[in-house]
Amino acid sequence: MNDLNITLRVRYSEVDSQGIVFNANYLNYCDIAVTEYFRGMGKPYNEFLQTHSMDFHVIKATVEYSRPARFDDILILKIQGEYAGPRIFWNIEMTRQDDTICVAELVYAAIDTGNGRVRRLSPEIADALKLKLQT
């Protein structure tokens, strides 16, 4: 399994009237982490879709919030992925310095872009993305 750290800075447009990151924006941060993961593995997402005729749909998203993030905070997103059958399990931890802001789990289903049906990840694809088989 490979993990990757992504750094991002909270923008003013992402905070609510209380001055903290609006809860739905954390899922946007997760999406950024997954996109950057593909890029970090040498497989930009659009290129991966075209090469493998496969797309991914989010079928589950869970976020556990610990502390609020605020405008101009620098967040580190650590992402790890595992797979089983047609699913990828992304675990994402967001931190600010030594504080955990939240932990998220996303479950993706692999979809064949030709017929729209669920499709298993081959060991070759999992290896290309450096995903470990979930036990």
Write the pLDDT tens digit of every residue in 85-111. 999 999 999 999 999 999 999 999 999
Residue that has been written with the tokens 């088989």 in this structure: 133
pLDDT digits (tens, 9 = 90+) for 16-72: 999 999 999 999 999 999 999 999 999 899 999 999 999 999 999 999 999 999 999
Q: What 3-state DSSP class applies to 98?
A: coil
d(CA 17, CA 31): 24
pTM: 0.93
Domain parsing of the chain, residue ranges: 3-133
Q: What 3-state DSSP class applies to 30?
A: helix
**CA distance to 39, 59, 71, 131, per residue, from 50 (Å):** 14, 22, 37, 20
Domain 3-133, CATH number (from 3.10.129.10, 3.40.50.150, 2.40.30.30, 3.40.30.10)? 3.10.129.10
